[in-house]
Amino acid sequence: MCGIAGICNFEKKPSIEIVKLMASRLNHRGPDDTGYFDNEYVSFGHKRLSIIDLEKSTQPMKDSTNNNVIIFNGEIYNFKKLRKELEHSGHQFKTNGDTEVILKSYAEWGENFLNKLEGMFAFCIWDEKEKKILLARDKLGEKPLFYYFSNKIGFLFSSEIKSFLAVKEIKDELNFDHSSFNEYLTLNYLINNKTFFKNLFSLPPASYISIDLKKYKKDTKVMQYWFIENYFKHKTKDTFEDSSQKLNHLIKDSVEARMFSDVDNGTFLSGGIDSSTISLQLKEIDNHKMTAHNIFFKEKDFNEYEDAKIISDYLKIKLDYYEIPKGKNLVDDFPSLIDAMDQPMSDTSFIATYYLSKYSTVKSKVVLSGDGGDELFCGYDTYIADIYRKFLPKMNLKSKFVKSIIAKLFKTKFTKVGVDYKITKFLNALSKKNNYSHILWREIFSINERINIFNKYDHKFINYDFLEFIDNELVKLPDVNYLDQYMYIDLKSWFPNDILYKIDRSTMYNSQESRLPFLDSKIVEYVCSLPINYKIKFFERKRILKSIVKKKLPKSLFQKKKSGFGTPIGLWLVFDKDFKEMAYDLLNTQFMKNLFCNNEINKIWDSHQNMEEDQSYKIFNLICLSQWIINNKLENKL
């Protein structure tokens, strides 16, 4: 696991000094080793987090048979199988790791080799013979890769946005994409491969870019090599029992494939079905001494330690738990937390994941996590909302009216996601068409709230235009169950841009590698092909996953109510003096006053302080943005 950065320029020799500057902002992703390569057309930088083949697989790596060069971030879990295939074809190897396997695979199969890779990755290959670069990203978007074209410097790419901001010439060129603020306030994250800057893009999952002399300075064409929608279209004829057995074997194989490393392994254990399944499989495969890690909250509604302890005791595995700092310590850490985000992505669970990684990396440089289970097996409340929505007409309910009714029925409580909050979001989204309702169950600021809060902001940017991608995607799946459609949308939007973004940034900032067994492409492809009633039936979620583990895990796991992984931001904003003061100050910077209407922010703040309405998500959304602006000295960009 690593950080990569580079420049390609076919008109003048690219600057290795600029690449060194870009790479210097990626030290957290690779503290163990640093390497550079440059020639007439490219300059590469690499920061290495050593996990396998600790001594030999240094990067950038050159293939001595053809002078191709690679910089690579990630892990290829089937590299040993590919290596045997390549050796059979006559290739010889000098290392024992996966990086060289990628180089040889490219030499053997060209760009077609991308579909052969099982793993998480972002890499760039310089093809010496063809004089071109190939940038590629894994199928679901576990590993990040950003790119930008500068007339002055060339085609630049990096694992993180902060690399671009480290270069003064690039930072001066970059301008805010104003529509991104609207999108961020709506969803907490950005979709459609956008960033907060014009012309600085995220390479989409399952995609690659190839640039040579002919394509240089032309519109960058992004090519897709894997199409997850195809697996939703073609449903398996397997019975539920056969599917359960097959899925069990696939999960076991995936966990086993992700256990290899030359450093200590561990697992994140929340006590939910997903993480418990992964821990169970680890235990069954190899009854070795493994450590499970859990984050502890004194706030009862947020604490999952007791659930995790039940599982760890049942499986007889060691459980380490860690408490999130509060008060001044949390405030002192907050700039680093936002720096870890790279750009604002204000899922409140980011804080919990960040500290879980920060404390657990001392014992476990590699961790396995259950992320992906909710998206694949219909685990979220939003899918239940979709079922109800199917039987209700489109309604236009005034937001203030909805809030007043709910306020009378439910007392505001700063729990993970209160009943009042869920009902408000559900009723508000009824005014949208079905396809949009699904993603707007998680809406942070409604369109009317955005209109009110933006100050001196072109109202043409305040819209739902970014949701048109849903229509464009669903055209690909016209004849599948509506819940399959919404799961597909989540896998194309929420999952890569919130869930995977969070786990990558929080762990890599702490120099820890996370591996996600549910994301093995054989599992993903098979689960997408399952009939929807194998996953959810009569409001029972994760039906097939539960069938695999229900006889091997304690009954209490299946009786408890689903609980998301959250952080008690709402309580801290009221009862933690230091955190409250910090948040208030961040809401009242000059940048925030320029971008937003201060009176509206004060209304949000006061209603939360008076416990009239839970405004946790809105306030956290805004203070993450404010701190990011301060961290990167972007005040003058507006």
In contact, 120 and 74? CB cutoff 8 Å: yes
Report the 10 Å Cβ neighbour count for 6: 31
Span between the terminal Cα atoms of the chain, in Å: 35
Report the 10 Å Cβ neighbour count for 554: 15
Concatenate the DSSP letters of all residues of 543-580 into one string.
HHHHHHHTTTS-THHHHSPP------HHHHHHH-HHHH
In contact, 231 and 524? CB cutoff 8 Å: yes
What does the block give as tokens for 6? 């580079």
Class of residue 218 by CB neighbours under 10 A (exposed 0-12, middle 13-18, buried 19+): exposed
Report the 10 Å Cβ neighbour count for 253: 17
List the one residue out of 386, 420, 417 whose CA is nearest residue 402. Answer: 420
Task: Report the run of H or E that residue 126 belongs to, with start and end.
Answer: strand 119-127
In contact, 258 and 356? CB cutoff 8 Å: no
Distance between CA 173 and CA 319 in Å, rounded? 49
In contact, 297 and 568? CB cutoff 8 Å: yes
Q: Phi and psi dihedrals of 139, rounded to 5? A: -65, -35
Per-residue burial over 479-508, b = 16 or more CB atoms within 10 Å of its CB, e = otherwise:
ebbbbbbbbbbbbbbbbbbbbbbbbbbbbb
Concatenate the DSSP letters of all residues of 188-251 into one string.
SS--TT--SBTTEEEPPTTEEEEEETTTTTSPPPPEE---THHHHHS-----HHHHHHHHHHHH
Task: Report the run of H or E that residue 337 belongs to, with start and end.
Answer: helix 327-341
Q: Which of 2, 8, 378, 528 is labelled catalytic?
A: 2
In contact, 57 and 97? CB cutoff 8 Å: yes
List the one residue out of 290, 158, 223 whose CA is nearest residue 280. Answer: 290
Could you tell me how many residues make up the chain?
638
Task: Report the run of H or E that residue 200 belongs to, with start and end.
Answer: strand 200-202
* Three-state secondary-structure class, residue 274: helix
In contact, 286 and 259? CB cutoff 8 Å: yes
In contact, 583 and 569? CB cutoff 8 Å: no
**3-state helix vs strand vs coil in the chain, percent to 5:** 50, 15, 35
In contact, 247 and 523? CB cutoff 8 Å: yes
Angle between helices 240-257 and 521-529 (to 10 degrees): 160
List the one residue out of 387, 429, 311 whose CA is nearest residue 540. Answer: 387
How is residue 60 annotated by DSSP? S
Q: Which amino acid is at 300?
A: K
Distance between CA 102 and CA 105 in Å, rounded? 5
List the one residue out of 141, 151, 149, 259 whose CA is nearest residue 203. Answer: 141
> Among this protein's residues, is 2 annotated catalytic?
yes
Concatenate the DSSP letters of all residues of 576-627 into one string.
-HHHHHHHHHHHTSHHHHHHB-HHHHHHHHHHHHTTSS--HHHHHHHHHHHH
Distance between CA 396 and CA 394 in Å, rounded? 7
Tell me which residues are annotated as active site: 2
